[in-house]
Amino acid sequence: MKKLLLIFFVIIGLTFTSFAQNKTAITGDQPAKLLKFYPNPAITPTVSFEFLRGYDKSYSFQLYNFMGKRVFEVRNLSPKFVISLADFFRGVYIYQLRDKNSRILESGKIQVVK
């Protein structure tokens, strides 16, 4: 009976772990990126962003510091845009690309090295 319970808990545990749920990493069906940015880590005074696909003028772009405070925002984006890092401190920043309904379409990390 103990062996049966152990097998049951192992099967339940495997179905609810991230390994079993993360089918995109195994099959390679990850969603395509909307933005490409460079350089990362940012050792230059600017970071360039450009849309790879799915550009929409109503998108907004926010940049947050590691503490979660919004430090930069752009609305009505162009297909290519540049952010000046002159007022940014060294560290990791999180960017979010949002649609007109404020849903996050893409997010990622930018490392600023000065």
Reading the block at residue 57, the tokens are 């003028």
Structure-token match 């920043």, residue found: 93
Regarding whether 42 and 17 lie in a shared domain, the answer is no
Higher pLDDT, 57 or 28: 57
Q: What would the pLDDT profile of 48-104 be if each residue is shown by its tens digit?
A: 999 888 788 889 999 999 899 999 999 988 899 999 999 999 999 999 999 999 999
Q: Are residues 106 and 58 part of one domain?
A: yes
CATH number of domain containing 79:
2.60.40.1220
**Highest mean pLDDT: which range of 6-15, 20-29, 41-50:** 41-50
pLDDT digits (tens, 9 = 90+) for 36-59: 888 989 888 999 999 888 788 889
Of 99, 98, 96, the residue nearest 109 (C-alpha): 96
Confidence at residue 25, expressed as pLDDT on a 0 to 100 scale: 44
The three-state (H, E, C) secondary structure of the chain, written as one string = CHHHHHHHHHHHHHHCCHHHHCHHHHHCCCCCCCEEEECCCECCCEEEEEECCCCCCCCEEEEECCCCCEEEEEECCCCEEEEECCCCCCEEEEEEEECCCCCEEEEEEEEECC
Residues with Cβ within 8 Å of 105's Cβ and at least 6 positions away in sequence, in order, are: 34, 59, 97, 98, 99
Regarding pTM above 0.95, the answer is: no
Same domain, 14 and 42: no
Look at residue 47 in the predicted model and tell me its pLDDT: 92
Q: What's the domain range around 4?
A: 1-29
Tell whether 83 and 63 lie within a shared domain. yes
66, 82: one domain: yes
Confidence at residue 43, expressed as pLDDT on a 0 to 100 scale: 87
Residues 6+ apart with CB under 8 A from 58: 76, 99, 100
Q: Are residues 42 and 5 in the same domain?
A: no
Do 8 and 25 share a structural domain? yes
